[in-house]
Amino acid sequence: MKTEPQLSVRAIFGVFIALMVLLALTALADYLPPSRWALPISLTIAVAKMALIFLFFMHLRYQRGMVRIAAAAGFFWLAILLTLTFGDYLTRGWVAQ
């Protein structure tokens, strides 16, 4: 049986610090004045947090082949569901007016 590489305490602590910094940036981004850059900044921070969690805590960094394909397929399916939900939300908003 193949053993998985273990994360060191230093790596876990580094990821934790990075997530806390990104959390602080998320809170600060909430105080930005409304502009066209507020949403892209918030989404970039959210994607960075998501990537850290998936790569380190879900061990996708150390996996190969089918595990990565399965994770990518799950995200693709989630994107389809969110797109359809958002499309339904937008069309219902126009019909109700």
Which residue, among 43, 53, 40, 65, has the nearest Cα to 12 in the 3D structure?
53
Same domain flag for 51 and 11: yes
How many domains would you assign to the chain? 2
Same domain flag for 47 and 5: yes
Element of type H or E holding 54: none
Same domain flag for 40 and 9: yes
Same domain flag for 91 and 50: no
Same domain flag for 31 and 52: yes
Same domain flag for 3 and 29: yes
- In tens, the pLDDT along 32-88 reads 888 888 888 888 999 999 889 888 887 777 778 888 888 889 889 999 998 999 888
Could you give the CA distance from residue 43 to residue 56 in angstroms, rounded to a whole number? Answer: 20
Same domain flag for 31 and 54: yes
Same domain flag for 49 and 11: yes
State if pTM tops 0.85: no
Same domain flag for 44 and 71: no
Boundaries of domain holding 93: 64-97
